[in-house]
A and B are shown apart, each in its own frame.
Chain A
Amino acid sequence: MSGSFVNFNGTSILQLMSFFILMYFLIKFLYRPFLNIVDKRAKEIKDEYKKADDAHKEAEALKEKAKIELEELNERINKMYEDAKIRVNEYEKKEKVRVQSEVESLMKRARNEIEEERVKAEDTLRSNVITLAVALASRIIQKDLNEKSKREFLMEQLSRIRDEM
């Protein structure tokens, strides 16, 4: 059986049914998964952006903190340097004083020693001179005296000379 292509009949009921069947399945298998995954993707991207933003902020804060710490450290280093400088100066001064005093004491000791040596040498010289003088005198006076009496005699003579002087 055939009919005109412009018609309206029972097919429309079937078309309506088929539309709703199609819509049911497409909602189930196509639209819902599609919307879900798009939402999920959007949410994920948003989260990622937020995460990145947070990380950026955190990094920024850390950077700021590090900068402050670095400045503090620099300050401390400077201060320590200054302190060290002062301490070194003080030490230098102290050392100078100490060394000077040591040198002085050494000098003093040396001088004392020299003095002692001089005195000793003078004594030796004197005794030598005396001996020499005795020898000379014995030669001069040609007197036969024993050693002791000679010495006594000379000492006597000398004290006499000192008294006279």
Chain B
Amino acid sequence: MKTSVKFSKNEKIFLGVFFAVYAGVALWNFDKVKFPSGVGHIWQIKVPLPSILGTLNPMTIIMTAVLLVVLIYMAIDFKKHLKKIPSRKQSAIEILLSFVYDLVKDVIPAEEFVKPVFYIATTIFLFVLSSNLLGGIPGIGIGVSSKGGLKLNLFTDTWHSPTGDLNTNVTYAVMVLFISHIFAIKRKGFKQWLKEFASPNPIMLPMNIIGEIAKPISHSLRLFGNIAGGGIMVLMLSYLVKYTFVPVILWGFFGFFVGTIQAFVFSMLAIAYIGVQLEL
């Protein structure tokens, strides 16, 4: 089907003025754009705790808290308006949840572990998804200026996504590893679980251990690289074109498109790792 785009006279005037102003601002800005040297640095605070525990990333903590509140509010809202004949909102959430549930059901071989894995995987999925989506929306945050001091970003950067912080990803990945092994011990027994490290041959023992350690590393760094790298890449690209293109388009791409895919991949891998360990 062929569709033609037609503009009315008013729209033509508006678009003409808009693009003229845009081009003017872009040209005026062209010379003044400086390299964002604060990129790659984040705000940290010190707390009186030993060694590495004493440093915190406040933006991550704040945004995680906000996400927690939003997600829990949505959950309460879901429960409050729960009906047997679902409303549109309810069916949207139900479709999302049943999508994850079917995924879990297909991968997990043991019936009794389907529900716990579903709880874990869906929580991971919802948190990572909403966190990644935050990385696609321009928002308020505290960044680091080029001199090393702090500065307030008012819609010059996206909301800080907690998954753009390695702490979150490593924690989740390691947690998934632990959970998978705990479930494996529960299902197979301790001896059988130990024996599987030396299978099919005792020579494979170091290989198996390295394989297990590699899991959380690849798991966490994949997500971290995509989200944090995406954010930095947007700023770099925007700098390279001297902001003649607004970064909103790139933020949208990295936040919504890559973010959704990575959230799916992250939770899918979590389910798969647990599923592999539960295999008899």
A residues lining the B interface (CB < 8 Å): 1-16, 18-19, 21-23, 25-31, 33-35, 37-38, 40-41, 44
Contacts and interface: CB of A to CB of B under 8 A. Distances in A.
B12 to A, nearest CB: 45
Contacts of B126: 26
Given A2-B44, A5-B42, A10 B76 contact: no
B75 A29 contact: yes
A12 B82 contact: no
B196 interface: no
A4 B72 contact: no
Interface stretch (B21-29, B117-125, B259-267): B117-125
A22 B143 CA distance: 27
Tell me the interface secondary structure of chain B in the complex: helix
A10 B48 CA distance: 11
Tell me the interface secondary structure of chain A in the complex: helix
Given A2-B42, A3-B41, A33-B79, A10 B97 contact: no
A5 to B, nearest CB: 5
Contacts of A7: 42, 44, 55, 57, 166-167
Q: How large is the interface on B (under 10, 10 to 19, 20 to 34, 35 or more residues)?
A: 35 or more
Nearest to A31: B119
A33 to B, nearest CB: 5
B49 interface: yes
Given A7-B57, A9-B55, A27 B119 contact: yes
Nearest to A13: B53
Contacts of A9: 44, 52-57, 167
B82 A33 contact: yes
A37 to B, nearest CB: 6
A4 B167 CA distance: 13
A9 B93 CA distance: 34
